[in-house]
């Protein structure tokens, strides 16, 4: 879940940029947190407005090079931290008036094409898929987890219809040889009952492995919870998602805290309960036809946002229970 998929590593195309800017209004100044710095598309646009400051985060250490370039231009208005966005609450923000927290949950093409990361089914060699600060790789998951565990990962994180068949064939093959990227693609292609000519046969399994290796479910959930804590009253949380599982989590978090009363633990029980968020839109914002023509991978992007109504830190949310079954699947990694 690191920044947007882009069609050319030489030209960065931050998805739904104009829509994001119109929502967070940096023309009026303020401090903004870019949780997925990536190639710096959102951050640079925000810093082009005077009286703005950006705290940029990215778990991928490669992003630091791009951050250094921007720091040379914007000096003390950009602070970069090489951390996961789930660690938002560890930032020292006491004196910061956080106006907006932004997440872009896609991958950039330079990350997808980086052979060291091994994110793509076009990669040759060892399975990896680590985006930074990981405890294990896809190689360990594929070669060590059992058939039932692999089936769960492919089914729930990738919505793969042939998950059981693929997992069975992986376990069969790895008894003879270590599974590499090319070998995994071959197994998937030979396991599929029906061929989809619009998307590659390995797409869903590779998506599932990326989510599992980078613990993207719990990362997103804790990122949202901590974003809701640090953003100030009337501030915005904006999230761009690229697949249905991410969107489902964001939609539930925003909707539940907009419609259900949530109260600070430090407030007297006799005090009136309050809604944490104001939901401005019911349906997500999607890219225009023009943007999709210029940047085809943006077609799957969905932007949702909420405004924080009340300025309190602690609140009640059942999101961890709601998606416990997915977190339990992530926790299969404890075996590795």
Q: Mean pLDDT by 10-residue block, N- to C-terminus, for the chain (336 residues)?
A: 44 87 98 96 97 97 92 93 96 92 88 73 85 95 97 98 98 95 96 86 96 98 97 97 97 93 58 84 96 93 96 88 98 96
Three-class DSSP category at 80: strand
1 within domain boundaries: no
Look-up: residue for tokens 């190689």? 139
Q: Which residues are annotated binding-site positions for S-adenosyl-L-methionine?
A: 40-42, 58, 85, 104, 111
**Separation of alpha carbons 72 and 52, rounded Å:** 16
**The predicted structure's pLDDT at residue 8:** 43
Cβ(35)–Cβ(24) below 8 Å: no
Question: Residues 303, 174: one domain?
Answer: no
Q: Which segments are annotated as binding site?
A: 40-42, 58, 85, 104, 111
Instruction: Give the residue from 76, 18, 68 showing the smallest Cα distance to 47.
Output: 76
Token reading at 166: 């693929």
Q: What is the pLDDT of residue 199?
A: 86
Number of residues assigned to the chain: 336
The whole model's pTM is what? 0.92
Are residues 207 and 223 located together in one domain of the fold?
A: no
Residue 10: inside a domain, yes or no? no
**Among residues 214, 235, 269, which one ends one of the domains?**
214
107: exposed, middle or buried (C-beta count within 10 Å: 0-12, 13-18, 19+)? Answer: buried
Amino acid 260: pLDDT:
77
Cβ atoms of 52 and 76 within 8 Å: the answer is: no
pLDDT on residue 313 = 75
- Is residue 328 a part of any domain in this protein? no
Instruction: Identify the pLDDT of residue 264.
Output: 55
Residues 56 and 119 in one domain: no
User: Containing domain of residue 206, as a range?
Assistant: 110-214
| Domain match, 173 and 246 both | no
Using alpha carbons, select from 97, 112, 91 the residue that is nearest to residue 53.
Answer: 97
């Amino acid at each position: 879940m690191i920044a947007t998929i882009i069609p050319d590593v030489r030209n960065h195309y931050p998805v739904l940029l104009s829509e994001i800017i119109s929502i967070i209004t940096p023309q009026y100044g303020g401090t903004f947190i870019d949780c997925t710095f990536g190639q710096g598309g959102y951050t640079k646009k925000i810093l082009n407005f005077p009286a703005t400051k950006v705290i940029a985060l990215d778990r991928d250490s490669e992003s630091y090079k791009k951050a250094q370039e921007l720091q040379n231009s914007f000096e003390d208005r950009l602070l970069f931290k090489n951390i996961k966005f789930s660690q938002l609450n560890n930032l020292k923000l006491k004196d910061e008036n956080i106006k907006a927290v932004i997440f872009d949950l896609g991958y950039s093409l330079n990350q997808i094409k980086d052979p060291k990361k091994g994110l793509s089914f076009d990669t040759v060699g060892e399975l990896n898929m680590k985006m930074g600060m990981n405890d294990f790789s896809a190689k360990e998951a594929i070669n060590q987890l059992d058939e039932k565990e692999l089936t769960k990962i492919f089914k729930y994180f990738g919505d793969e219809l042939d998950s059981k068949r693929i997992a069975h064939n992986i376990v069969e093959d790895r008894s003879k040889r270590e599974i590499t990227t090319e070998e995994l693609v071959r197994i998937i292609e030979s396991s599929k009952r029906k061929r989809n000519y619009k998307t590659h046969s390995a797409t869903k399994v590779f998506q599932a492995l990326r989510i599992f290796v980078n613990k993207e479910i719990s990362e997103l959930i804790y990122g949202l919870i901590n974003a809701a804590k640090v953003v100030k009253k009337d501030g915005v949380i904006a999230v761009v998602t690229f697949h249905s599982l991410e969107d489902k989590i964001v939609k539930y978090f925003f909707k539940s805290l907009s419609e259900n009363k949530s109260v600070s633990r430090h407030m007297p029980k006799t005090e009136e309960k309050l809604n944490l968020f104001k939901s401005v839109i019911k349906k997500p914002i999607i890219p225009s036809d023009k943007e999709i023509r210029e940047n085809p991978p943006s077609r799957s992007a969905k932007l949702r946002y909420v405004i924080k109504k009340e300025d309190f830190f602690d609140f009640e949310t059942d999101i961890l229970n709601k998606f416990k079954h997915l977190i339990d699947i992530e926790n299969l990694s404890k075996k590795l």
